[in-house]
Structure formats: structure tokens, C-alpha cells
Chains A and B, each alone.
Chain A
Amino acid sequence: MPTFSLVHLEFLLTAAQWTIGLSIAAFVGGGLVGFVVALARISDLRVLRIAATVYIQLVQGTPLLILLFAIYFGIALLGYTNLPPLIAASAGLIIYSSGFLAEIWRGCIDSVPKTQWQAAECLALTRWQRMVKVILPQAARIATAPTVGFLVQIVKNTSLASVVGFVELAQAGKLINNSIYEPFTVFMIVALIYFAICFPLSTWSRSLERKLNVGRR
């Protein structure tokens, strides 16, 4: 019976690259969509606010696993049977992270005191200028830590992409274990690789928080 070797480690590291790639896609795509949804959520237009709220509630109320199934099999049902797992997994994770990032960022924007909006309005800044030059820079500082914290959640949640047949780190671990049956070794190494990805993110979050807080007590 073969045992855990360098070949297996190489396989895991390759799969880890997919985990990172999927995380980046989910974060960038989810960030873009989430930002738009966050703005819609606090818009002057009632219709936009309601639409954004419904979107956020739907996404947050659906388990990521179900979301991934729904996309993978739902699109197949619509007649497009050859949806690549990468696309299905990215789409699911983008929708998932956009729902959470929108709400995190909406909260950060809301936590900038109303008096800042007022002061900016009284200086004759347009609504857009108030948002871009006064509110968002302050909201961004508040948002840094929770955003990077959520990024760590995304990295870990990419492991669910295996259900649509996508071979990322967790799925690669499962495959190796199926052939050599050394669950402890294999999954310890998988866990260590996840840690190696997530720990720098947390550290980065903390240092960003410190840096951005200069000149703000």
C-alpha cells in the first residue's frame, strides 16, 4: 500500500492554488456585486432598497451548499448541461460573498455619523461627492477588519465547491485519502495548508487596522 509522499504533497499544493484562485474570484466578484448591492441598500430609491434587501436576505438565508447545487443542477435543467465546475463554483461563491459583503459594508457606511453627511451637504457637495469623498473613506477604515475576516470565511468555504466536482484543496485531500487511507496525515496537512493561507490574511487585517487608524485615535 502506498504511503503519503512528495507526489501527494505536490497534488495538494496544486489543489491549494485552485482554492486560492477560487477565493480571489469569489472575493473580487463578490466585492464588486456586494458594493453595488450595498449602495442600492442605502439608495434614495425605495425600489432599489427593497430589491437589495430581498437579495441579501435570500443569499444569507440559503446554505452555500444549496446555492452551489442550485446553480450547478439548476443551469443543467435549463438545458446547459456542460457547465464547467469552475464556473459553477465561482458563481455560487460570488453570489454568497456578495450577500454578506453587501451587508457588512452597508453596516460600515451606516456607522459613519449622520453629522458627517450633514456637514458635507452644508458645504454644497453633491450626494455622490459626499459618498465618495467623505463617507466611503471613513467607512473603508471601519470595514477593513470585518472584510478581511470574511475573506478568511471565503477561503474555508471554497471547500464546499467539491460538491459540484471541483477539485480544490479539501477535495484533493479526500481523493488522496481514498487511495492511501491515511486520514490523519492527509487531513492534518490539508488543515495546515488552509492555516498557511488564512493566517497571513488575519495578520494583514490586524496590521491594516493599525495603519488605517493613524490619525484617528
Chain B
Amino acid sequence: MSAVVSLSNVHKQFGSLKVLDGVSFEVGRGEVAAIIGQSGSGKSTVLRCINALETIQQGTIDVCGHALHDASLNRRALHLDVGIVFQSYNLFPHLTVEQNIMLAPVSVKSIPKKQARELAREVLTRVGMEAKAENYPEQLSGGQQQRVAIARSLAMSPKLMLFDEVTSALDPQLTGEVLRVMEDLARGGMTMILVTHEMAFARKVASKVIYMHQGKVWETGSGDMLDQPKTAELRNFVGGVSHDRAEASV
């Protein structure tokens, strides 16, 4: 298994605040890696670093053959290989669902409009949103918008997809429909890295779970790791989360 993403001793600071303190891990082709951890543990920052949305002060990050720590990084080439889905969807409000999806294939890859429209229908069908192609984002629910955002990213056929807390703004029912789409993607062999609070989903779908604490990779392993935490911090974290969930479902 060749590594699609490899981080080695990555350090990042915002001013005097250390956010990443020597982070190293690898994600191989077809793997689904779930990064978990408390707020402020640096998990979202790691994800943004992998897409060059943040710069790092020390260490190396290689993503799909692009050296992100290199000053000569071709950001566009990187973004052609890596798709990202944000917590806040970030769909383009002035474009319909279909236009949102067609924009990048048409303007970046010069795919003819007719073909791009077919592509849009195809990815929308994959996320179960084909009926809403003509709608504007604001006419959709949060879960529907997030599925469209996933489709928009898929349309560029990325080699790696990043998901930054994509269900955190959704209620449990809408969360379910988005997670199902992500599970389908994982089963289809997509390499994925997700920052998530959905422990059940991480346990079930992720081939690798990375627990971050205080800017470090604290513990890493398969989904089972969540059932037998080695460190007290992870035990606390897992306990805390399931406790929260139990409370929320009452």
C-alpha cells in the first residue's frame, strides 16, 4: 500500500500558541482515516494543512506526490488531486446545485458544458440529490447542501477527499444521510481523511483512527482502538463523547 498522505514531524504555531507539535502519520491508498479529538487538539488544523490552506513551520507533508512544505508547491495541481468538504458546506449561493457542480469541471478541466451536465447528474445521483439539480443552495436543508458539497468535490474526481467536521452543523437525522453517502464513498475505494465527532461512524468505517491531543498524535490504530483505549486521555475522551451522545438522545 503506497502512502497517499504522509506527515512527518509537523509543527505549526499561531503566534505563540503551539497547535501542532510534531505530528506524524501516513494514510495509504483506499484507506479511510478518522481524526478524532477534543476541540483545540489540532485535528482541523491538520486537515487544513493537508490541503495547504495552512502553512507549517517545521516538518514535511507529502500529499499525492506534492511536497507541501516546499516553497515551489503548485497549489492548483494539489487542489486538482485533493477535494475537501467543509463543515459550513460553502456552496456558491448565486449558482444552482447543478451549476455549483459544473463550475470547476468546465472552467478548470475545460470539459464541454453538455458533458459536464451529465457528470453533474451522475455525481448528484450518487449522493441522492438528482431531483434538486435546479434548486439554489438556500432552498435545501443542511444535510442536502452537504451532500451537494460532496458531489461538487466528487465531480473533480480527486485522489483524496478531506472531510472537515462535515456533520457537526447537522441534526442527527440529517447527519445520518450525509454519513451514508460517505460510507458509500469509502466502500467504493476512495481515500478519505475525516475529522469527526461521530465515534460510531469512525469505529465502523475508518480503517485507521488517529486520536489527537494537545497538538500531538496521542494514539493511533484501527477502529477497535476506541473500545480498548491505551491512554487515559483517549479513555476519557471516548467516555465523554458516548456520555454526551447518551444524554443527547434522551
Contact = CB atoms under 8 A, between A and B. Distances in A.
Nearest to A136: B94
Contact of B92 (A116, A122, A124, A129): A116
A93 B195 CA distance: 54
Give the interface centre of A120, A124, A133, A215 by most chain B CB atoms within 10 Å. A124
Smallest CB-CB A-B distances: 4 pairs: A119-B90, A123-B104, A215-B136, A124-B79
Contacts of B139: 215
Interface stretch (B59-67, B81-89, B235-243): B81-89
B53 A118 contact: yes
B138 interface: yes
A156 to B, nearest CB: 32
Interface of B: 51, 53, 75-76, 79-80, 82-84, 86, 88, 90-94, 103-104, 107-108, 136, 138-139, 152-153, 156
Contacts of B92: 116, 119-120, 134, 138
Nearest to A214: B136
Contact of A115 (B86, B107, B108): B86
A124 B94 contact: no
A24 to B, nearest CB: 28
A133 B79 CA distance: 17
Given A115-B88, A129-B108, A124 B93 contact: no
A134 B94 CA distance: 8
Nearest to B89: A119
Nearest to A113: B90
Give the interface centre of A119, A125, A137, A138 by most chain B CB atoms within 10 Å. A119
A215 B76 contact: no
Contacts of A121: 75, 79
A179 interface: no
A104 to B, nearest CB: 19
A121 B74 CA distance: 12
B103 A133 contact: yes
A215 B138 CA distance: 7
25 contacts: A115-B88, A115-B90, A119-B90, A119-B92, A120-B92, A122-B53, A122-B79, A123-B83, A123-B103, A123-B104, A123-B152, A123-B153, A124-B76, A124-B104, A124-B156, A125-B104, A125-B107, A125-B108, A126-B76, A126-B108, A129-B108, A134-B103, A137-B94, A138-B92, A215-B93
Interface residues on A, range: 20 to 34
A216 interface: yes
Contacts of A126: 76, 108
Interface string A179-217: 000000000000000000000000000000000000111
A138 to B, nearest CB: 5
Contacts of B93: 138, 215-216
A124 B81 CA distance: 9
Contacts of B80: 124
A134 B103 CA distance: 9
Contacts of B51: 122
Given A122-B83, A216-B93, 6 more contacts: A115-B86, A116-B90, A123-B103, A126-B108, A141-B94, A216-B94
A118 B90 contact: yes
A133 B136 contact: no
A124 B80 CA distance: 6
A217 B138 contact: yes
B79 to A, nearest CB: 4
A183 to B, nearest CB: 50
Contacts of A217: 138
Contacts of B88: 115
A117 to B, nearest CB: 10
B45 to A, nearest CB: 14
A134 B92 CA distance: 7
B104 A216 contact: no
Interface in A101-157: 115-116, 118-126, 129, 133-134, 137-138, 141
Contacts of A141: 94
A130 to B, nearest CB: 10
B71 to A, nearest CB: 16
A118 B83 CA distance: 12
B86 A123 contact: no
Given A122-B84, A215-B136, A138 B75 contact: no
